[in-house]
A and B are shown apart, each in its own frame.
Chain A
Amino acid sequence: MSDTSLTIRRFSDLANPSRFLALSARLLPWLCCLTALLFAVGLFFAVTSAGDYQQGETVRIMYVHVPSAWLAMMIYGVMSVSALGTLVWRHPLADVAARAAMPIGAAFTGLALVTGSLWGKPMWGAWWVWDARLTSFFILFLMYAGLIALNRALEDPARAARLSAILILLGFVNIPIIKFSVDWWNTLHQPASVLRLGGSAIDAEFLRPLLLMAAAFTCLFFCLHLAAMRNEILRRRVAVLRRQSARSAALNGPAA
């Protein structure tokens, strides 16, 4: 067997939900331990690092606001890859992955908006301004909410999967808008200061807890996503069993 066909075989092996359940059950405890460890170290540095000379203690809001904002966009990226998996490769777990990620993405987008407001009030003097970054990020939250509503409204899971995948891919255009909004328009947000050409503009004192908390939030997402995917697979199994039960009851006819 050639290397390419072996790789495809391994990829398609993972398409089996039962195999995914077994693999994720082995992986989850280790991932949860790593997440707890990263949160412990990240929070230690977040609380003990020095305050900013201008912002004072409010700089600590960055250690929860920025990771949740990054995660909100990364989750949409994960959903977009899953949408491609649904439409192009018809991978059985692709729709499960997208559907499981939606509420988690909505929660972290909401958290980024709330912590952003709580950081904006003391620093900018306003809870909210309709600038490009905030508006595009609010649109991301509405997109998550819309996708959740769409999935709940449609009873046919195959139709819901196709429609969601198309909408997810259409909505992906908002991700580069969020990322580059601070460069393209005049906004209250500062330009990119961590991921930029020429290296980070943030001092190591603030960068250390920021990166640790970002790693902790990312691991937390993968834990939650794996667990939510397992729940989604079980939900679909319950639906199949209920249909099977209804069908056999109809075939047997009413009890005498």
Chain B
Amino acid sequence: MNFAAPHIGFVLASYGAALVVVFGLILWVVLDGRARRADIRALEAAGIRRRSDRRPESGSAPDARP
């Protein structure tokens, strides 16, 4: 790539925009995933679990699901 060529600023701006969008999207999915997993951990710590994740309590049948 010739950095002294005319209009090179337009090329660099295009690749800069692509970089911002790609890294923005990667950051969005990573941070969103972390936030959702933190939400689930917080709910589980408070004793709230999905019915399929609950361990069978003593006296109940192991496959008993509502």
Contacts and interface: CB of A to CB of B under 8 A. Distances in A.
A111 B2 contact: no
Given A238-B39, A238-B40, A64 B29 contact: no
A63 to B, nearest CB: 9
B5 A57 contact: yes
Contacts of B36: 231, 234-235, 238
Interface string B40-58: 1001001011101000000
A225 to B, nearest CB: 9
B32 A64 contact: no
Nearest to A104: B25
A236 B46 CA distance: 18
Residues of B contacting A: mostly: helix
B58 to A, nearest CB: 21
Contact of B17 (A57, A114, A227): A114
A115 interface: yes
Contacts of B11: 57-58, 60-61
A104 B15 CA distance: 18
Given A224-B25, A224-B29, A241-B40, A111 B7 contact: no
Bin the interface of chain B by size. Answer: 20 to 34
Contacts of B25: 103-104, 107, 224
A234 B30 CA distance: 13
A58 B2 CA distance: 11
A236 to B, nearest CB: 10
A153 B46 CA distance: 30
Nearest to A48: B1
Interface string B7-33: 110110111011001101110111011
Contact of B50 (A56, A122, A228, A237): A237
A159 interface: no
B62 interface: no
A122 B8 CA distance: 10
Interface in A209-241: 220, 224, 227-228, 230-231, 234-235, 237-238, 240-241
B18 A115 contact: yes
Given A118-B13, A242-B43, A245-B46, A227 B1 contact: no
Give 6 nearest A-B pairs by CB, closest first.
A234-B36, A122-B7, A227-B29, A57-B5, A64-B18, A115-B14
21 contacts: A51-B5, A56-B5, A56-B7, A57-B8, A61-B14, A64-B17, A64-B18, A103-B25, A110-B21, A115-B17, A118-B10, A119-B10, A224-B26, A230-B33, A231-B33, A234-B33, A234-B37, A234-B39, A238-B36, A241-B50, A242-B43
Interface of B: 1-2, 5-8, 10-11, 13-15, 17-18, 21-22, 24-26, 28-30, 32-33, 36-37, 39-40, 43, 46, 48-50, 52
